[in-house]
Amino acid sequence: MSEPALRLAGIEKRYGATVAVAGVDLEVREGEFVTLLGPSGCGKTTTLGLIAGFFPPTQGEIYLKGRPVADLPPFRRDIGVVFQDYALFPHMTAGENVAFGLKMRNLPRAEIGQRVREALELVQLAGLSERAPLQLSGGQRQRVALARALVIRPTVLLLDEPLSNLDLKLREEMRVEIAGLQRRLGITTVFVTHDQGEALVMSDRIAVMNAGRIEQVGRPADIYERPATRFVAEFIGRMNFFMKENKILAIRPERAKLAVERPASGFAVRGTVHHVLYLGATLEYHLTLEGGERGLVEATNDGSTPRFAAGENVWFTAPLESCFAMPAR
């Protein structure tokens, strides 16, 4: 347990004057599922490419189980990659796709056959070995890509937005399935996504990236409940912000409440209900607050709180333990 399975030490990637990755440090423990989360252009896919070895870092070192690999070509790194578009070989069957990595390792035929069968069973595609990628559905192609990456028993598995081409229902199924598979196999995984829901559900830890840097690394609950920067707070979930001197005060909409009277303690500011969104399980109150700021309150529709209508004057309140401060930047 001494050496992390993967360690990025100050890696940078520049293309001329453009900085894609601006100094990233990250440790991924053996068997851990770490997500790189961020908007498009934040450098998360470039970071993945650097780990895979598709291009060299401009600066910094990458360690796989303590061994520096930044100078190794991708075919000598033992890293499994699942691409966003799956990148299956269209002229090969599903089975041949999965067998490719084993053939490149010159394994005996019988062993290849055995391991391909096991890998296809693992992703519930037993019996579809002879199908060409074109004859498979999107979800099945995804599974073939996963089996192809897993069958080589890689040191690290890299997943590049593998769910973004699937429809909503399938995506939610695959989230649970991939996370389950990863835990069962105990395979060290780095997952790239811009979808905060995927990141929260699947990860052991999340690294939120912005403009080529990691803004915060932590367990999903840490990231959501104690965001370190305004960017993290805004990118994951929704947030009310209030400027207080040179600090920002942040309150999640589901932790805020509306009240007719000013409460004895806690944070409170006067406002007017601008409009109400009725969502069934919850109600969303959009407010115009004193000083012109806008407020958002998400109330559970459990009958315990009074309803308010547009135009009413109210207090936007929150207990102090639900407020957190972050540096204004």
Q: Strand order of the sheet with strand 313-318?
A: 257-259, 313-318, 267-278, 282-289, 294-300
115 touching other proteins, by CB under 8 A? no
Stretch that binds other proteins, among 19-27, 88-96, 227-235, 253-261 (CB under 8 A): 88-96
- 140 versus 240: smaller Cβ distance to other proteins: 140
- Minimal distance, residue 50 CB to other proteins, in Å: 13
Q: Of 151-210, which residues contact other proteins (CB under 8 A)?
A: 152
| Cα gap 88→136, rounded to integer Å | 11
**No. of H helices and E strands in the chain?**
8, 18
Provide the H-helix boundaries in the chain.
44-52, 94-104, 109-122, 138-150, 168-185, 196-202, 220-225, 230-235
| Cα gap 37→33, rounded to integer Å | 13
- Minimal distance, residue 183 CB to other proteins, in Å: 23
- 117 versus 219: smaller Cβ distance to other proteins: 117
134 touching other proteins, by CB under 8 A? yes
Among the listed residues 105, 275, 294, 307, the single contact to other proteins using CB under 8 A: 105
85 touching other proteins, by CB under 8 A? yes
267 touching other proteins, by CB under 8 A? no
- 162 versus 295: smaller Cβ distance to other proteins: 162
Question: Which of 153-187 are b and which e, b meaning 16 or more Cβ less than 10 Å from the residue's Cβ?
Answer: ebbbbbbbbbbeebeeebbeebbebbbebbeeeeb
Cβ–Cβ under 8 Å, residues 276 and 285: yes
Q: Of 276-305, which residues contact other proteins (CB under 8 A)?
A: none
Cβ burial, residue 73 (10 Å; 0-12/13-18/19+): exposed
Count, residues near other proteins per rule CB under 8 A: 30
| Cα gap 80→64, rounded to integer Å | 13
- 16 versus 303: smaller Cβ distance to other proteins: 16
- 135 versus 313: smaller Cβ distance to other proteins: 135
Among the listed residues 39, 66, 68, 104, the single contact to other proteins using CB under 8 A: 104
Among the listed residues 149, 166, 209, 232, the single contact to other proteins using CB under 8 A: 149
| Cα gap 163→150, rounded to integer Å | 17
133 touching other proteins, by CB under 8 A? yes
Stretch that binds other proteins, among 15-23, 86-94, 120-128, 217-225 (CB under 8 A): 86-94
| Cα gap 91→44, rounded to integer Å | 30
State the SS3 of 150-212.
HCCCCCEEEEECCCCCCCHHHHHHHHHHHHHHHHHHCCCEEEEECCHHHHHHHCCEEEEEECC
315 touching other proteins, by CB under 8 A? no
57 touching other proteins, by CB under 8 A? no
- Minimal distance, residue 91 CB to other proteins, in Å: 5
- 7 versus 77: smaller Cβ distance to other proteins: 77
Stretch that binds other proteins, among 83-91, 257-265, 285-293, 302-310 (CB under 8 A): 83-91
- 90 versus 311: smaller Cβ distance to other proteins: 90
83 touching other proteins, by CB under 8 A? yes
| Cα gap 240→242, rounded to integer Å | 7
| Cα gap 326→329, rounded to integer Å | 9
Stretch that binds other proteins, among 31-39, 144-152, 231-239, 299-307 (CB under 8 A): 144-152
Q: Compute the chain's Rg from CA coordinates.
A: 24
Cβ–Cβ under 8 Å, residues 113 and 87: no
Contact residues for other proteins, defined by CB under 8 A: 52-54, 73-81, 83, 85-91, 100-101, 104-105, 133-134, 141, 148-149, 152
